[in-house]
Structure 1
Amino acid sequence: MTVRAVEVIAEADVVAYHSARHGRSIARSIAAAHIRPDHVEEALVYPVTTETTDHPGGYRGALEEFYAEAAARLAAHLDAGRTVAVLAEGDPLFYGSYMHMHKRLADRYPTEVVPGVTSVSAAAARLGTPLVEGEEVLTILPGTLPEEELTARLAATDSAVVMKLGRTFPAVRR
């Protein structure tokens, strides 16, 4: 965590974080030492993650509805004069769940996005291995791309990071 992230959490009245239905949040676990007993916690629990849904709008519809409801919950705190810190894994605007709250709230409330350490940078630092050097090109790809497109893009770069592996790992590995 950055020093600024720790400061923002300390100044906040409400600490919000995304989680799957099991209730565990990686972002919250990273920040746990900085969450006080008097913080109001808002767990933004996804209705679906990778499974199918019977929502009339399908998977995308279920998520859009969830993001709208989650933003409304945070807006209620902000309207009441409370400050809200939304925790994010890595950087909040790099494949992060926070971006969906930001799109819905930043035009109505003062917002500070605190840059974070991406998993890409953290992994390289942990390994002590540069991602790229000199004129090499680094490409970051979502593992959710169709296999043919992922194959083509991987062939066209010097170094690559594939994000969002989870259920896509077998296809990415192929």
Structure 2
Amino acid sequence: MSDLDHLAGSAVGGTLYGIGVGPGDVRLLTLRAAGLVRSVDVLAYFAKRGRKGNARSIVSALIADGREELRLEYPVTDEIPVEHDDYQSQIAEFYAATAATIEAHLSSKRSVGLLAEGDPFFYGSFMHMWRRLDGRYPVEVVPGVTGMSGCWTRANAPITWGDDILTVLPGTLDEHVLTERLKTSNAAVIMKVGRNLAKVRRAISAAGLLARAIYVERGTMPEERILPLADLSADVGPYFAMIIVPGEGRKI
């Protein structure tokens, strides 16, 4: 065993691991995360229908041939609004069935590593498994570099200075709510941009922050794209896109 493997540690049977895989660059994984990707009995990951799964793609270089994998395919993602009854019922049934599948492995004393983009406890689907299984089985959460910290670093944009208050907003909010929240924010990160891009841009403009806003698409990934929001002509962005508004802080 190498010194790095010793530091990372190995998986324990019957334990669920929420493994934060970071924003996209595999080199940003923690030692613990990388060690668990290589040592759990079952490597699980969520994926959109017909897609490979972004978390799985991030760690592909760490997965040996023949590893047992558990692909968890969402029945619905952004095809219908999150607040729609059909979305809520389908996703609830999916999470219940997924928890049961994972539980079957855990009860057989097998370790399960569930990959999570960014950090497992930050807008992560892993939290729905944690809610259902924590307390019934051992659960270890391995923190990861968040997507937003990866994005503001790649944009070379310090996000908060001094006493700046950072506000994190989902782009799914009502436009008026977004605008009012942004008006009282020193610095902001708007996530879940995707199909909400045009609405989010209007809210940022109405809050008087357009000149400071930066659009980051697939931050730290090979297809990374970074530019001032004011220069972006598109009205729809990909799932892995966010907008950051760096704080200004006190001038020293």
Same structural fold, with TM-score higher than 0.5 when normalized by the shorter chain: yes
Match of 1:116 in 2: 144
The answer on whether the counterparts of 1:19 and 1:43 sit within 8 Å (CA) in structure 2 is yes
1:29 aligns with 2:91: no
1:84 aligns with 2:112: yes
Counterparts of 1:74 and 1:35 in 2: how far apart (Å)?
A: 20
Counterparts of 1:79 and 1:37 in 2: how far apart (Å)?
A: 25
Counterparts of 1:161 and 1:107 in 2: how far apart (Å)?
A: 33
Unmatched runs of 5 consecutive residues or more in structure 2: 1-28, 203-252
3-state SS, counterpart of residue 43 of structure 1: strand
**Residues 128-163 of structure 1: per-residue CA shift (max 9 Å, x gap):** 321111111110001111111011001110110001
Q: 2:77 aligns with which of 3, 28, 49?
A: 49
The answer on whether the counterparts of 1:46 and 1:66 sit within 8 Å (CA) in structure 2 is yes
**More displaced 10-residue stretch of structure 1: 118-127 or 108-117:** 118-127
Match of 1:125 in 2: 153
Counterparts of 2:125 and 2:66 in 1: how far apart (Å)?
A: 25
Alignment coverage as a number of residue pairs: 172
Match of 1:162 in 2: 190
3-state SS, counterpart of residue 139 of structure 1: strand
Counterparts of 1:23 and 1:51 in 2: how far apart (Å)?
A: 14
1:39 aligns with 2:67: yes
- Find runs of 4+ consecutive structure 1 residues off by over 4 angstroms: none
Aligned partner letter, 1:30? I
**Residues 5-34 of structure 1: per-residue CA shift (max 9 Å, x gap):** 001112201000111101321111111111
**Larger helix percent:** 1
1:95 aligns with 2:123: yes
Counterparts of 2:166 and 2:47 in 1: how far apart (Å)?
A: 30
Counterparts of 1:98 and 1:125 in 2: how far apart (Å)?
A: 25
Counterparts of 2:50 and 2:179 in 1: how far apart (Å)?
A: 33
- Percent of counterpart pairs with the same letter? 49
1:63 aligns with 2:91: yes
Aligned partner letter, 1:110? P
TM-score, length-normalised on structure 2?
A: 0.66
Aligned partner letter, 2:158? P
Q: RCO (CA 8 Å, sep 6+): is it higher in 1 or 2?
A: 2
Give the alignment's Cα RMSD to 1 decimal. 1.5
Unmatched runs of 5 consecutive residues or more in structure 1: none
TM-score, length-normalised on structure 1?
A: 0.94
Match of 1:145 in 2: 173
The answer on whether the counterparts of 1:12 and 1:39 sit within 8 Å (CA) in structure 2 is no
Aligned partner letter, 1:128? N
Aligned partner letter, 1:22? G
Aligned partner letter, 1:25? G
